[in-house]
Amino acid sequence: MDRVALRGLKARGHHGVFPREREEGQTFIVDLVLSLDTRPAAADDDLAKTVHYGVVAEEVVAVVEGEPVDLIETLAERIARTCLRHDGVQEVEVVVHKPDAPITVPFDDVTITITRSRV
């Protein structure tokens, strides 16, 4: 499988278990690696035969900005399902970053990484 990667998608969401997270929201950053066969698209130079990463980016941002969830694990799962709805995408790796997580000690980032594929 070939891979198309989108890194650093940023969106404001209201995810988290604490009231402050739900009320104020925070920035989430998403990295994606979409696995698919790009040979048909390359052979015909045809966007319709690959994944339109601009559309995927917009859909993922809409998920992050959408209905709040308690866990970034749930958010990552929703993002993965959205990506797998695209024809040709056989597998997706999703990394959700929560750099402003409510942690009381100094830290750089909190992430969840999941890999999902068509069954």
Q: Which residues are catalytic?
A: 98
CA distance 87 to 105: 43
CA distance 95 to 5: 11
Element (H, E) at 111: strand 111-117
To which residue do tokens 């409510």 refer?
102
Give buried/exposed letters for 107-118 (b at 16+ CB in 10 A, else e).
Answer: eeeeebeeebee
Q: Name the nearest CA neighbour of 90 among 45, 48, 33, 43.
A: 33
